[in-house]
Chains A and B, each alone.
Chain A
Amino acid sequence: MSAKREPVERWRVAAPVIVAVAVLALWQAWTVLDDVPTYLVPSPLVVANTLVTDAALLFASLGVTVSIALRALAIAIVAGVAIALVFVQSRWIEAAFTPYVVLLQVTPIVAIAPLIIIWVRNTEVALVLCAVVVAIFPIVSDTTLGLRSVDPRLIDLFRMNRATRWQVLTRLRIPSALPYFFGGLRIASGLALIGAVVAEFVAGTGGQGAGLAYQILMAGIQLNIPRLFAALVLITVAGVVFYGSTVLLSRWALRHWHESQLDERQ
């Protein structure tokens, strides 16, 4: 990292923080000065306070939702990459199955979720499955694209050296696909969380395994708006952490070579 770049880097962190602080301050000022009732819009301080007082309840639910999203993401990665690997074996296979993958993608999850929940007896499995359906598409499409986006001259070079199909796959196609895969992963990580929350809404599972969506639902019914906001904050933070982790992972994996990770030309 050169000295020239550091101020820019600092701004990238500082600018959004300043915006956040300003918005929170304005929000706080507005609720206090305008005397907005808490059951309509709670002030940031009230929300923060609720986060502390309802911590046990909320964080338990957060754990449930995050656990569903993470399991769904893991399954989406494994299944999505496997599907992409099958797709690139032949144009026929890809042509035959792509429409159904797209079908899965364009059908709203709220429309499929009730079916999945009816068909799959175990609610938790059903929730994970819903989130997988939402998260898998970007992994499949981006990884497929990546596995195909190989420098044709490198393919020629491998052919001239009598490379086997397996060698072309492991030494050429998979490394070439990594940047695309990570692009898909970034989107999929957010979608897995959204899928988990939507599925929880539809399933409406309460009790011990209640996720954040259930808390939001109940808080809405009970007009416990501060708790609703607190749950919302937790979902948002979880989403940001998901996204951030995939960005860091991608940066680490591609740090030496990919254009997207280069600071400057050397």
Chain B
Amino acid sequence: MEPQRRADHQGPSLSAVPSPVEGAQAPAVHVARASKTWPNGTRALDAIDLNVRRGEFLTILGPSGCGKSTLLHLIAGLETPTSGALAWWGGPFAATGDEGRRLAMVFQSPTLMPWARVDANVRLPLALQQVPRDDADRAVADAIGLVGLAEFERHWPRELSGGMQMRVSIARALVNHPDLLLMDEPFGALDEFTRLRLDGELQQLWRKRELTIVFVTHSIHEAVFLSTRVAVMGPRPGRLIAEIEIDEPHPRGESFRLSTRFAGHAQRLSQLVAQACGGEAGDGAPPNAAP
């Protein structure tokens, strides 16, 4: 298989490191001086410290190649840190997956199984955990309804548009009621209109389901619109530069997008990203946020 990507979370370095707060008040994820160096010597992440608070919408923002996805993969347990440690709800990764400690992930592309219909794709996490059929049926119908695809249950993925496929992917992530939803630039490949609509729907889902979300993006506008907090990352090696609270009331709508406060947040983030890239205004993330 892929030995270098095997996540072995039984390792003592991980389970031994406690989070700052134990028990019920522990953050959803505690990242303690976690770094990642690839086998070829590339340093992807440099000593990251980060807490994911329960119930927050945390966005990891940064230019391409600054290690955003790597950090998300560490949080997802798909990679292990080269040094440092992570804790999930104050415990080791091995304890995730139980009630109250469920993780789910939405990838850059819909990542659906083309040989399975929409409902079978959404059912996958439940099927893998051998949830009884009746419970699974109900949960699948709920999740598909939640993303507004009830009429498309029996469709094949190829019969859906890119935006609809992404909704199926979100329904699959929500089907077993995750406590932490990880999203890796989920709307990056979609057109602007679809993206704006899905941003709005995601915000509603976050409120309705009281989710904790870690959202990776390189769009400053998306970060400001969605997040309660933004963690800004810089490249070479990937590191955290700033954590900015977006202290604005939810639900946020079009009026927020057009407000001067929105522009203010965007400009601030834009400057931070530009600084992170060593003052150059380019490098994959043009600071074009100031209106």
Contact = CB atoms under 8 A, between A and B. Distances in A.
A153 B159 contact: no
Contacts of A55: none
B103 A175 contact: no
B21 interface: no
A257 B115 contact: yes
Given A157-B105, A160-B105, A161-B125, A257 B114 contact: yes
Given A162-B97, A257-B156, A156 B113 contact: no
A178 B114 CA distance: 12
Contacts, number: 58
Nearest to B3: A91
B271 interface: no
A162 B78 contact: no
A158 interface: yes
A208 interface: no
Contacts of B73: 156
Contacts of A154: 111, 113
Interface string A159-175: 11111000100011001
Nearest to B178: A160
Contacts of B113: 154, 171-172, 175
Interface string A27-47: 000000000000000000000
B105 A156 contact: yes
Contacts of A162: 97, 128-129
A54 interface: no
Interface in B6-61: 7
A159 B157 contact: no
B269 interface: no
Contact of B77 (A155, A158, A160): A160
Contacts of A171: 113, 124, 127-128
Given A151-B111, A162-B97, A256-B156, 7 more contacts: A153-B111, A154-B111, A157-B105, A167-B128, A175-B115, A256-B115, A256-B158
Interface in A156-201: 156-163, 167, 171-172, 175, 178
19 contacts: A153-B108, A155-B2, A156-B78, A157-B105, A159-B7, A159-B78, A160-B78, A160-B104, A161-B128, A162-B97, A167-B128, A171-B113, A171-B127, A172-B113, A175-B113, A178-B115, A257-B156, A257-B158, A258-B114
Contacts of B108: 153
A152 B2 CA distance: 10
Interface string B238-253: 0000000000000000
